[in-house]
Structure 1
Amino acid sequence: MIQWPIAELLPHAGDMILIEAVQRFGEDDVETRLCVRAGGLFNQADGSLPAWVGIELMAQSVAAYAGCQARQAGQPVQLGFLLGTRNYQCNVDRFALGAELRIKALRSLQDDNGMGVFECHLEGPGIQASARLNVFCPPQVASYLHEPPKDPAHE
């Protein structure tokens, strides 16, 4: 298991951090885990998580991969963006309270401009989910978040 706290690998805060730990990471892949616990941001009344949260778990796993890569290189963790997913498939409609989930993400493409594609799989007791995530981590992320000053003449 990776010794860096998950909060130091993800550009998220508080209840928005859904994965619990990075089990391992390599040059092109990462494995993360979590146990479904009650009282979280997306939990249903019975403590379960809706299956659509699987996309966010996969995206956070990709973010943890990027965070591990940055930490290993002595760089700060950068903000990235989930652009979309193709063909999210899940064989259940929810992840039951107490279910141990394991997420694997494999980088299949990354260019110099920060665009990337990851093949992701989520597994648990009787659970199989998969998706291809398109992500973007721009080299100068602050410039993408900065709004230009408003021109009063055009309001």
Structure 2
Amino acid sequence: MTAPLLRIEQVVPHRGAMLFVDRLLSCDADNVVVEADVRSDHLFADDLGVPAWVGIEYMAQAIAAWAGHEALQRGESVTLGFLLGTRRYECTRPHFAFGTTLRIEAHREIFGDNGVGMFSCRILDGAEEIAKANVSVFEPRNPGAFLEGHAP
């Protein structure tokens, strides 16, 4: 029997207005799929919807869901990670329309022992791929110490 999927709040450390993704659909050692509902109360919403550049953060939060899920599978706590950057972000729309449910997929290309990883990501509206990018992330062993400048 397959274990039930966790709630998004269990695997992503973001809270309140900074939590952009709504549901964890699937997760395994190399892949994660989440959904995000595009709402008019989104932190970055304007009159036309949510700007396309926010897609990078949707992708980053999908990766956060993967990292959180992996941590829980190892019996560890969900911790902070950091978006290092993106390569070749392309989006076919200037905005994500209100009322749209986006499907965000991330595939682990590499994740080193040093906490640096690269994921290929895409955003879909139904069956249509509307955005894609390679996203680099960093998950320090001790995020608190790292933020204080006490860890490599």
User: Same fold judged by TM-score > 0.5?
Assistant: yes
2:75 is aligned to 74
Amino acid aligned to 1:141: P
Q: Return the alpha-carbon distance in structure 2 between the equivalents of residues 113 and 141 of structure 1.
A: 13
Matches within 5 A, 1:32-43: 32-43=34-45
Tell me if the contact between 1:118 and 1:134 (Cα under 8 Å) persists in the aligned partners: yes
1:132 matched residue in structure 2: 134
Give the match for residue 4 of structure 1: 6
1:2: how far off? 5.3
Q: Is the 8 A contact 1:104 1:121 kept in 2?
A: yes
Q: CA RMSD in A?
A: 1.7
Deviation at 1:147, TM superposition (A): 4.5
Q: Which runs of 5+ in 1 are unaligned?
A: 149-155
Q: Structure 2 unaligned segments of length 5 or more: list them.
A: none
Question: Which has the higher Rg, Structure 1 or Structure 2?
Answer: 1
**Who is 1:14 aligned against?**
16
Runs of 4+ in 1 over 3 A off after TM superposition: none
Between the aligned residues of both structures, percent identity stands at 40
Query: Structure 1 residues 118 and 2, CA, compared in 2 at 3 Å: closer, same or farther?
Result: farther
Alignment correspondent of 1:152: none
TM-score (norm: length of structure 1): 0.89
Amino acid at match of 1:116: G
TM-score (norm 2): 0.90
> Hey, what does 1:151 align to over in structure 2?
none
**How far did 1:27 drift?**
0.9
Matches within 5 A, 1:22-101: 22-46=24-48, 48-101=49-102
* Residues 105-151 of structure 1: per-residue CA shift (max 9 Å, x gap): 00001111000000001010555100000100012222211147xxx
8 Å contact from structure 1 (residues 106, 118) kept in 2: yes
Counterpart of 2:97 in structure 1: which amino acid? A
Matched-pair contact (CA < 8 Å) for 1:2–1:22: no
8 Å CA contact 2:24–2:33 kept in 1: the answer is yes
Between Structure 1 and Structure 2, how many residues are aligned?
Answer: 147
Q: In 2, Cα distance between the equivalents of 1:147 and 1:29?
A: 31
Other structure's SS at 1:69 match: helix
